[in-house]
């Protein structure tokens, strides 16, 4: 079973909730893995005081040019949407790899077979374990553009770990936003936990990310984090949920313990039994919804 | 032979612009193959100045299409530098007026750049 945690807006508490859910599911007896798919800024390991170990590099295809076979036609440069191939009459093309996103159009279009598939490194995958859960964490190289591809590779790798370590449940912690890396985090999951907070920007971003989730036809539920920051807007978020028939899985109060735990790099559920109970309740609700949909 | 100089304006009396990819204008200077004297010039406006990213690549395409043998500029980022080294176009560092650096180049008095002299996007930073 796979559960993605997303939400649209940044800072709503996705990582805190993903980490806490992974821990309570593990305590409830499920062999659980946390997949940190926020490849731009992965830091789930920091919430668990976990030392990650590098498992492997991730590469992306880039063209390799054979100047002996090149007929200097310039077709490769004309199809490059990233504008990273420069062609000048009478010379083999010049190529700037860091702008390349690996679409392979240049390889396909070359009439003389002078362009073949090479690769460049775009990031790294790390693994770790602590508090009874396994972690797979993807990390995009600085300046690299292919964040969606990096998430897909992280998930592919996590699936190989799943079968090796007989993992029953994976929690995928997505990045903020609604773009490629989020889409790559949501696709192929059994349930999406959308984390929001009672602010206008969070509600607007939630609305947008749920449109993406709807497209993939994955069932979802809402967690309203810091719900007591604004009574008025908190009610607005609840009304939004009722109107759209979205189950509310949990409401989390604003509490400094969350911040203190983050600074101490300790899971928030170990700071109080009340929190552990709260997250266990959410885990049960998620379980029930998934069972009903089956 | 032709050389390209990144310039703050048009003509031989304009200054060499420190930035390559986002300079306002390229002065293409034609040197006599034998005497190495300035035979003529052509101003080519840089279409990459306002580009979000990859200005160095667009500018290098523009300059390379002019069939130049060498480029003179203040600084050059890694992408443009990669393009010129792959195309076999030499890059020189120079300061002063376009005329001064062109004449210096003709006498072999300019220093050739061995590597990129700046990071990416130097022309986009707020303060200079």
Q: Could you tell me the pTM of the whole model?
A: 0.81
Q: What is the pLDDT of residue B122?
A: 62
Closest-CA distance of chain A to residue B64, Å: 6
Q: What is the pLDDT of residue B99?
A: 97
C-alpha A205/C-alpha A187 separation (Å) is 19
- The 3-state DSSP class for residue A20 equals helix
Q: What is the pLDDT of residue B84?
A: 97
Mind listing the pLDDT tens digit for each residue in A17-67?
Answer: 999 999 999 999 999 999 999 999 999 999 999 999 999 999 999 999 999
Q: E-assigned strands of A111-163? A: 115-130, 133-140
Other Cβ atoms less than 10 A from the Cβ of B53: the count is: 16
Residue A2 predicted with pLDDT over 90: yes
Which site among B57, B67, B68, B88 would you substitute to test the A interface, given the most A Cβ atoms closer than 10 Å to its Cβ?
B57
Please answer whether residues B83 and B64 qualify as being in contact, where contact means their C-beta atoms are separated by less than 8 angstroms. Answer: yes
**Contact list, A83 vs chain B (CB under 8 Å):** 54, 57-58
**Cβ of A91 and B82 within 8 Å?**
no
Closest by Cβ to A88, choosing from B53, B57, B65: B65
**Cβ of B82 and A83 within 8 Å?**
no
C-alpha A188/C-alpha A184 separation (Å) is 9
**Cβ of A86 and B61 within 8 Å?**
yes
Closest by Cβ to A99, choosing from B54, B60, B65: B54
Residue A77 predicted with pLDDT over 80: yes
**Cβ of B57 and A95 within 8 Å?**
no
Closest-CA distance of chain B to residue A95, Å: 7
Which site among B54, B80, B81, B85 would you substitute to test the A interface, given the most A Cβ atoms closer than 10 Å to its Cβ?
B54
Burial (Cβ within 10 Å: 0-12, 13-18, ≥19) of residue A180:
middle
Query: Does residue A187 or residue A99 have the better pLDDT?
Result: A187
Average the pLDDT over A228-255 and give the result: 95
Average the pLDDT over A143-170 and give the result: 94
Q: What is the pLDDT of residue A292?
A: 87
**Cβ of B61 and A84 within 8 Å?**
no
Q: In what helix (H) or strand (E) does residue B63 lie, and over which residues does it extend?
A: helix B55-65
Average the pLDDT over A64-75 and give the result: 96
Return averaged pLDDT per consecutive 10 residues of chain B, 128 residues in all.
Answer: 97 96 96 94 93 90 96 95 96 96 96 83 55
Whole-Å CA distances, A36 to A33, A76, A97, B11, B42 = 10, 36, 27, 56, 55
Picking from A137-141, A201-205, B115-119, which range would have the lowest pLDDT averaged per residue? B115-119
Q: Could you tell me how far CA A223 lies from the centroid of its own chain? A: 17
Residue of A nearest to B60 (CA): A86
**Average pLDDT in chain A:** 95
Note which residues in 165-184 of chain A have CB less than 8 A from chain B: none
Closest by Cβ to A88, choosing from B64, B79, B82: B64
């Amino acid at each position: 079973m796979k559960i993605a945690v997303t939400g649209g807006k940044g800072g709503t508490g996705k990582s805190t909730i993903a980490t806490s859910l992974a821990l309570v599911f593990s305590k409830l007896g499920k062999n659980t893995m946390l997949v940190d798919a926020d490849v731009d800024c992965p830091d789930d390991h920091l919430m668990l005081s976990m030392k990650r170990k590098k498992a492997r590099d991730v590469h992306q295809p880039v063209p390799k040019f054979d100047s002996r076979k090149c007929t200097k036609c310039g077709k490769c440069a004309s199809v490059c949407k990233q504008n990273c191939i420069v062609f000048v009459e009478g010379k083999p093309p010049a190529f700037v790899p860091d702008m390349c996103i690996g679409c392979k159009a240049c390889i396909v279009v070359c009439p003389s077979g002078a362009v073949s598939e090479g690769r460049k490194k775009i990031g790294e995958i790390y693994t770790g374990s602590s508090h009874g859960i396994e972690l797979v964490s993807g990390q995009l190289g600085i300046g690299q553009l292919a964040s969606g591809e990096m998430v897909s590779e992280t998930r592919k790798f996590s699936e190989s770990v799943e079968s090796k370590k007989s993992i029953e449940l994976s929690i995928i912690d997505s990045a903020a936003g609604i773009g490629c890396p989020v889409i790559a985090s949501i696709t192929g999951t059994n349930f999406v936990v959308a984390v929001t907070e009672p602010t206008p920007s969070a509600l607007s971003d939630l609305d947008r990310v749920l449109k993406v989730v709807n497209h993939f036809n994955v069932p979802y539920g809402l967690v309203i984090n810091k719900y007591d920051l604004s009574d008025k807007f908190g009610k607005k978020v609840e009304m939004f949920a009722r109107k759209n028939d979205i189950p509310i899985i949990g409401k989390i109060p604003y509490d400094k313990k969350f911040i203190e735990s983050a600074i101490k790099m300790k899971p928030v559920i170990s700071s109080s039994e009340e929190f552990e109970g709260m997250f266990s309740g959410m885990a049960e609700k998620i379980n029930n919804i998934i069972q009903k949909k089956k | 032979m032709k050389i390209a100089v990144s310039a703050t304006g048009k003509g031989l009396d304009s200054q060499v612009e420190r930035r390559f990819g986002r300079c306002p204008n390229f002065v293409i200077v034609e040197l006599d193959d034998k005497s190495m004297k300035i035979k003529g010039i052509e101003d080519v406006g840089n279409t990459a100045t306002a580009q979000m990213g990859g200005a160095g690549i667009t500018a290098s395409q523009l300059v390379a299409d002019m069939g130049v043998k060498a480029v003179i500029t203040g600084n050059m980022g890694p992408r443009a530098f990669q393009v010129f080294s792959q195309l076999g176009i030499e890059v020189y560092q120079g300061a002063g007026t376009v005329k001064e650096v062109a004449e210096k180049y003709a006498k072999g008095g300019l220093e050739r750049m061995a590597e990129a002299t700046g990071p990416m996007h130097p022309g986009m930073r707020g303060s200079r």
